[in-house]
Amino acid sequence: MSSKSFDPAAREMIDFGKKNNFELVWDRLKEQQPQCGFGELGVCCRNCVMGPCRIDPFGEGPDKGVCGATADTIVARNIVRMIAAGAAAHSDHGRRPALLLKEVGEKENRDYEIKDEAKLVNVAKKLGINIENKDKFQLAKEVAEIALNDYGKQDSNSIKFLESYAPKLKEKLEQIEKALYEKTGKIMGVLPRNIDREIVDIMHRTHIGVDNDPLSLILQGIRAALGDGWGGSLIATECQDILFGTPKVHTVYANLGVLSPDEVNIVIHGHEPVLSEKIVEIALKKELIEYAKSKGAAGINVAGMCCTGNEILMRHNVPIAGNELHQELAVLTGAVEAMIVDVQCIFPALANLTKCFHTKFISTSDQAMFPGADHIQFEEDRADEIAEKIVKIAIENFANRDKSKVNIPEHKNEAIVGFSVEQILEALGGTVEPLIDAVKNGKIKGIVGIVGCNNPKVEQDYFHVNLAKELIKRDILVIGTGCWAIALAKAGLLSVDYANFAGDGLKSVCKVLKIPPFLHMGSCVDCSRMLVVASAIADTLNVNISDLPLFGSAPEWMTEKAVSIGTYFVASGIPVHLWPIPPILGSKEVVKILTETAKEVFGGYFIIEEDVEKAVNIMEAHILEKRKALGI
Ligand code: BF8
């Protein structure tokens, strides 16, 4: 059996793929060996055509590029460009539901509606909107306008979402800007002024011959990342909750075993729920189920993949077929009529692989085209019509399924999901006080938020699952999102009973509140939910987020989005563990800024650790240190 994955369903399918000569991500990784050492260290520069240049890490070759850029400059420029891309992906995602909310508010779009009026009112109040005598449409319009203004305003004030959701952090960031100016005489801003602007600023200052100072570069990276976490991602979460409903706690199934042997299987993969919400809704229509039956299927089975899967799993009873490294494996089952994709984390390799089966690979976004895919353009103002068209294509494709090729692994597990901030508060009786009491009396030592991806360089899900298991043994509550949350759902860990494997303190809290020791908080943009919880705890205790016994981790990360998430955690005051190593080791200065200077300035910092136990030891030590400082 393959050791490429910790997940038995994946191991089965990887072996099946190998036996039948299907090329998978692990094969392509092998083909790439040895990977570029300059790239791994971050010392390769392609920012102008006097290059490409690279710095010799052994000190035997060139120590600067043609323009004179040192390893410190090159590494810093490269890593902040990663942040820019990650922040752009999340924030551009957030723009879509914000625009849609405005259209719904203006009654220009009638395919969507406001499903959570209570949340709309709460968000409006938080943003300081006067809610008197305003109907839901007016409020939706005003909330959306503030959100969209945060993307495009041209003044130098902080974005409104950060200011409204984390006033204390805003104050702290202002003090940091002031202190930096007093110390250096240089203007180095960290408060995001405009979500888009901070990303553009990075692209500007990393152009040849602009910013060459690693500290100034990294601080701009932090600014853009904060514009993601407290801006773009938060806007995505809040607008989506208003439009599609705030997640509620419920049970779903997870893993490839959710694919049905006798129904039309539609897998929705990507990130933006604007499309997937519609597919879920349309697939429940009686006429379409009847249509599927007329084509010989028992019904229609919609399953999610990656973070769009998380979005629909959080809000509906929709199972999830897997996380990032499952996308090709789902196709290998031979039982997928359509793989429908929007944006982000979608392998272009799916185009070739789906051709070996009857699976239709359907792209839908004007931003994400895949050579070899069928493109059906999704448009919000024709959402019902287009979703129906896509579902019908899947149904009609059922006749092409070759039953002799169907090979669905049996593995699937039940998972309790849906822990939005609102649901956590409800479980706690309306306030964060009971959680704070549990932290104060030591039943819960601290909280770790785990995020992010799979990466074929790491045994799939191994680090996610084992890190989480080890943390709860030490009475550390684990919350998280993204492919981590899917990993735990697949492994059957998202259950109240699993609290039996936690330390006595955490176990007792979970049993009283009837919650698992691991809380699935949603997709990657929903890391904003974790920030909101951290901010609520800090406000209640009247301390900064950096004073709290918290830690973050991205133990199998691979995307630029994860770099942005890690950075906004750090800048918000939460240290972050990473594995694999980010491409920064080519610069001692950049390593120092991210691991030491960040700690002095923001309270958060990065650590890199490959070993589960060692990583947990570091996290626990930080948590205990913070508890001591708080006097608890
Ligand atoms: O959006 S799907 S691989 S990037 S964790 Fe990572 Fe997974 Fe992508 Fe975050 Ni979500």
Q: pLDDT, tens digit, for every residue of 388-400?
A: 999 999 999 999 9
Q: Which of 25, 450, 453, 556 gets mutated to test ligand 1 (max ligand atoms within 8 A of its CB)?
A: 453
Question: Are residue 162 and residue 278 in the same domain, yes or no?
Answer: no
Closest-lying ligand 1 atom to the alpha carbon of residue 271: 1
Q: Where among 244, 267, 287 does a domain terminate? A: 244
Question: Are residue 544 and residue 432 in the same domain, yes or no?
Answer: yes
**Residues within 6 Å of ligand 1 by CB:** 271, 306-307, 323-324, 345, 452-453, 482-483, 523-524, 559, 561-562
Question: Are residue 584 and residue 451 in the same domain, yes or no?
Answer: yes
How many Å lie between the centroid of ligand 1 and the Cα of residue 385?
Answer: 29
Domain with 87 in it: 71-244
- Find the CATH number of the domain harbouring 474: 3.40.50.2030
Calculate the alpha carbon distances from 196 to 81, 158, 226, 498, 532 in Å. 14, 13, 12, 42, 22
Task: Quote the pLDDT of residue 618.
Answer: 98
Query: pLDDT tens-digit profile of 163-216?
Result: 999 999 999 999 999 999 999 999 999 999 999 999 999 999 999 999 999 999
Nearest to 480 by CA among 345, 233, 304, 310: 310
How many Å lie between the centroid of ligand 1 and the Cα of residue 286?
Answer: 33
Query: pLDDT tens-digit profile of 451-492?
Result: 999 999 999 999 999 999 999 999 999 999 999 999 999 999
β-partners of residue 359 are none
How many Å lie between the centroid of ligand 1 and the Cα of residue 307?
Answer: 6
Question: Are residue 586 and residue 453 in the same domain, yes or no?
Answer: yes
Q: Where among 405, 432, 451 does a domain terminate? A: 405
How many Å lie between the centroid of ligand 1 and the Cα of residue 324?
Answer: 7
Query: Residue 249 falls within a domain, yes or no?
Result: no
Residue nearest to atom 9 of ligand 1 (CA): 524
Question: Are residue 491 and residue 426 in the same domain, yes or no?
Answer: yes
Question: Are residue 460 and residue 552 in the same domain, yes or no?
Answer: yes
Q: Is the pLDDT of residue 86 over 90?
A: yes
- Residue 247: asked if its preceding bond is cis (omega within 30°), the reply is no
Query: Residue 502 falls within a domain, yes or no?
Result: yes
Query: Residue 309 falls within a domain, yes or no?
Result: yes
| pLDDT bucket at 1, cuts 50 / 70 / 90 | very low
Provide the b/e sequence for 31-42 (b: ≥16 CB within 10 Å). Answer: eeeeeeebebbb
Q: Which of 559, 560, 563 gets mutated to test ligand 1 (max ligand atoms within 8 A of its CB)?
A: 559
- Find the CATH number of the domain harbouring 120: 1.20.1270.30
Residue nearest to atom 8 of ligand 1 (CA): 345
The number of domains in the chain is 4
β-partners of residue 606 are 576
Contact at 8 Å (CB) between 223 and 372?
no
Query: pLDDT tens-digit profile of 468-479?
Result: 999 999 999 999
pLDDT, mean of residues 425-442? 94
Nearest to 486 by CA among 248, 327, 262: 327
How many Å lie between the centroid of ligand 1 and the Cα of residue 62?
Answer: 37
Closest-lying ligand 1 atom to the alpha carbon of residue 559: 4
Q: Where among 194, 220, 244 does a domain terminate? A: 244
Statement: the pTM of the whole predicted model exceeds 0.95: yes
Query: Residue 516 falls within a domain, yes or no?
Result: yes
Query: pLDDT tens-digit profile of 279-338?
Result: 999 999 999 999 999 999 999 999 999 999 999 999 999 999 999 999 999 999 999 999
Written as one string, the DSSP assignment of 89-154 is: HHHHHHHHHHHHHHHHHTT---SS----HHHHHHHHHHTT---TT--HHHHHHHHHHHHHHHHH--
Closest-lying ligand 1 atom to the alpha carbon of residue 310: 10
Identity of the amino acid at 295: K
- Residue 192: asked if its preceding bond is cis (omega within 30°), the reply is no
Q: Which of 92, 240, 324 gets mutated to test ligand 1 (max ligand atoms within 8 A of its CB)?
A: 324
How many Å lie between the centroid of ligand 1 and the Cα of residue 255?
Answer: 16
Question: Are residue 77 and residue 216 in the same domain, yes or no?
Answer: yes
Q: Is the pLDDT of residue 497 over 90?
A: yes
Query: Residue 15 falls within a domain, yes or no?
Result: no
Query: Residue 414 falls within a domain, yes or no?
Result: no
Question: Are residue 48 and residue 80 in the same domain, yes or no?
Answer: no
Question: Are residue 266 and residue 156 in the same domain, yes or no?
Answer: no
Q: Which of 83, 228, 342, 344 gets mutated to test ligand 1 (max ligand atoms within 8 A of its CB)?
A: 344
pLDDT, mean of residues 337-352? 98
Question: Are residue 333 and residue 459 in the same domain, yes or no?
Answer: no
Query: pLDDT tens-digit profile of 500-521?
Result: 999 999 999 999 999 999 999 9
Question: Are residue 338 and residue 457 in the same domain, yes or no?
Answer: no
How many Å lie between the centroid of ligand 1 and the Cα of residue 577?
Answer: 17
Question: Are residue 268 and residue 371 in the same domain, yes or no?
Answer: yes
Query: Residue 10 falls within a domain, yes or no?
Result: no
Query: Residue 1 falls within a domain, yes or no?
Result: no
